[in-house]
Amino acid sequence: MGDPLISRDDAAEALGMVARAAGPYLDALPHLPVRDLTHAHLVKELDGPLPEDGDGTIAAVADLLRIGTRAATHSSGPRFFHFVVGGSTPAAQAGDWITSLLDQASGLWLTSPFATQAETVVLRWLKEMFGLPPSYGGVLTPSATFANLTGLACARHWWAARHGVDVTAEGLVGLPRMPVFSSGYVHASSRKALQLLGLGRDSVRTLTRDDAGRLDLAALDRELAAAGPAVLIANAGEVNGGDFDPVDAMADLAERHGAWLHVDGAFGLFAALSPRTAHLVRGIERADSLAADGHKWLNVPYESGFAFVRDASVLGRAFGSWNAAYLPAPDDEFVNYNNLGPESSRRARALPIWATLRAYGRAGHQAMVERHRDLAHYLGGIVDRSPELELLAPVNLFIVCFRFRPPGVPEEELDDLNRRLGEELIEDGRVYAGTTVYRGVVALRPAIVNWRTTTEDIDLLAAVVKEIGARLVGR
C-alpha cells in the first residue's frame, strides 16, 4: 500500500468509520464491564513486525477499531471508580475529534490564531469558574503533573530571583536548597515536578499533626519564620480520604512570611463551582500559582490540564526560551503559548474545554459536581448501614474511603482481606475500584467523577464489593 498520498481519498472514509463505530460503542458503554476479560487476548494482535508496505488506511483503521472497542478499558463509562479518572462529556469528546481533524500547531499565534484565541478564552472562562482574578496568567498543559511543574517552575523562578539569580538563564548552581513545605497530603506529582526542576523529590518537608497527614499549621508558621523565601504546596484535595488542606490559613501564613503559595487542585479546584463545596477551596484566589486537570472533573478527554499564576509575567520569564519575547501582556492577542509553559509544539487542547463549557455552561458543570457529591454521600450511607463495611473518612466531595470489615474477622487479617478484595474487584471487571493505604490500613477509595454515573452504578459497586467480600470469607 505504501505512501499515504496514494490513499488520500480514504481520509474522510477513515473518520467515517470511527464515527459509525462511535454510535454502537457509546450506546453499549453504560452496560459494558469496565474491562472485558473475554477480549483481553486481542491486545496481542497489536503486535507484529514493523509493516513494510502497510495494510492501507481502511484496513489499519478497521483493525484498530475492532481491537480497541473490545479490548480497551471502558474507563470513560460510568463504573470506573479507581484513582480519579473522569469521563468525556459528549461535547468535549466531539471537541477532541475536532482537535484531531484540524490538527493545529497551537504553540504559536502565527501557526494558529484560532487555537490561540480558543486557549485565551477557555483560560478566562476557567478563571471565572474558579473565582480567580482575571489578571492571573495561565496556560493549558497536558496534565496536572505538568501544571504542577508549571506552577512550581514559576515558584522556583521567584525564589531564585529573591537570591539575585535569574534561574532561567543561569540555572541553580550556587543557590542553596529551595525550602518547600506541605502537609502529608502532597501528591506524588508535585514531588515529580520538584524532581524535574532539579530541586529534588525529597526537598519537600511535610509538617503533619496526625497519621492522616493533616497539616500542622503552628509548625508551618515556625518553619516559615526561620526559612527565608520559601514555597508552600497546598493540596486541594487528597486522593485517599478526600480531605483538603486549609488553603486560606496557608495563604495567611504565606502572606505573613512572604512565601510563595502553590495550590495543587488537580480535581479539588472544581469544588469552587458549588456553594455546597466552595468552603473546601476558600483562599485559592490568594495563591501565587495553581494547578488543575481537565481530564478529571471537567470530564474532557485525556490529556488536559491547566496552570494559573498570579503574576502573569513570571510564566514568560520561567518558560520563555532564548531569543524569545519574555513578557507578553496578559491580554496579548498575539500570545505564543509555547513561551508560557513547558511544551513547545502542542495540540489545540483548548477545543474540548471550549466545547464542554459552551455546551453545558458553568451551571451544567456545577450540576455534575453536586451530583457526584450526592452520589458519594449515597454510597457513604450504604456503607454506614452495612454491618460488613466500615467508613474510614468523612465524605466531603466525591471520594468514599471504606473497607470490608465483616464481623468476626480479626483486625490483623483485614488488610490482607481488603487487598485481595481490591484485586478480585479488578479481575471481576463489572466495576473498578482499587485499594490504597489510609491511616495505616488497606482501604477502598472509589472516586465518583464521571458524568454518566447514576445511583444504579453505585448500587452495583456496593453489591459487587459485598458479593466478592462474602465469597472471600466463605459466607
User: Which residues contact ligand PLP (rule: CB under 6 A)?
Assistant: 83-84, 143-145, 187, 189, 239, 264, 266-267, 293, 305
> 254 vs 269, which CB is nearer to ligand PLP?
269
Backbone angles phi, psi at 207, to 5 degrees: -110, 105
CB of 5 to ligand PLP, least distance (A): 37
Going across the sheet that includes 289-293, the strands are 137-141, 305-309, 289-293, 260-264, 231-235, 180-182, 204-206
Name the helix (H) or strand (E) containing 233.
Answer: strand 231-235
Q: Give the residue ranges of DSSP H helices in 29-137.
A: 57-71, 90-102, 113-130
Q: Nearest-CA neighbor of 205 among 183, 224, 187?
A: 183
Cα separation, 251 vs 262, in Å, equals 10
β-sheet bridge partners, residue 443:
436
> 167 vs 397, which CB is nearer to ligand PLP?
397
Cell 481530564 found at: 295
Asked if 320 contacts 334 with a C-beta cutoff of 8 angstroms, the reply is no
Q: Nearest-CA neighbor of 217 among 191, 181, 188, 192?
A: 181
Cell 520561567 found at: 318
CB of 237 to ligand PLP, least distance (A): 7
Asked if 160 contacts 166 with a C-beta cutoff of 8 angstroms, the reply is yes
> 141 vs 418, which CB is nearer to ligand PLP?
141
> 269 vs 389, which CB is nearer to ligand PLP?
269
Cα separation, 388 vs 386, in Å, equals 5
Cα separation, 235 vs 233, in Å, equals 6
Distances in Å between the Cα of 282 and the Cα atoms of 48, 270, 327 are: 53, 12, 30
> 395 vs 462, which CB is nearer to ligand PLP?
395
Report helix, strand or coil for 275.
coil
Cell 468514599 found at: 400
> 224 vs 266, which CB is nearer to ligand PLP?
266
CB of 449 to ligand PLP, least distance (A): 10
Report helix, strand or coil for 468.
helix
> 293 vs 457, which CB is nearer to ligand PLP?
293
- The DSSP letter of residue 320 is P
> 263 vs 351, which CB is nearer to ligand PLP?
263
CB of 447 to ligand PLP, least distance (A): 9
> 185 vs 404, which CB is nearer to ligand PLP?
185
CB of 59 to ligand PLP, least distance (A): 34
CB of 164 to ligand PLP, least distance (A): 32
CB of 188 to ligand PLP, least distance (A): 8
How many Å from the N-terminal Cα to the C-terminal Cα in the chain? Answer: 60
CB of 287 to ligand PLP, least distance (A): 14
CB of 97 to ligand PLP, least distance (A): 21
